Structure formats: structure tokens, C-alpha cells
Amino acid sequence: MTQQLPSIGFLLCFRSLFQSGRGFAFPCDPAGHVDLDDLSESSRINYLYARAMVGRELAAPAVEAADLH
């Protein structure tokens, strides 16, 4: 029997404006809200960086179904 990991449900995805296939993705609710308390320290830093870089290095975030990744 194979153990399955619980489904995240949704991801908030920040795509690179300059490099196809690059960017960041974070677990979120259907409205795109990320629970910072659930993120690791490094993921929290990456999330804050991604938000700050929207329009400079990253496109505006989009909510996507996690099973698409």
C-alpha cells in the first residue's frame, strides 16, 4: 500500500517575467491567502521576496490548483 501525501489544494504562483519555467509557488486557500505561520523560515523569506518583486522580476501572482504542478 502506498501512502499518499495530503493535497495542498491551491498554490499561489509567482512566475518570472524573464525566465520561462522559473518562479515561486506557495500553498494557499482558494482566495490566494497564504498562511505565513505555516511556512518554513526560508519559504517565508521567499514569499516576502516574491511579493516585493512583482512587476520587477515576477508577474502578479495567480491561484492555481495544486494538482496542476
Please state the rounded mean pLDDT for residues 31-37.
Answer: 96
Average pLDDT, the chain: 90
Output phi, psi for 33, to 5 deg: -85, 125
CA distances from 14 to 4, 39, 60 (A): 26, 16, 6
Output phi, psi for 51, to 5 deg: -60, -40
Residue 21 has pLDDT above 90, yes or no: yes
Q: How far is Cα 18 from Cα 57, in angstroms, rounded to an integer?
A: 7
Residue scoring higher pLDDT (18 or 69):
18
Measure the N-to-C terminal CA separation of the chain; round to a whole number of Å: 24
Please state the rounded mean pLDDT for residues 27-50.
Answer: 97
Give residue 68's pLDDT: 57
Q: pLDDT class for 67, splitting at 50, 70, 90?
A: confident
Q: Is the pTM of this model over 0.95?
A: no
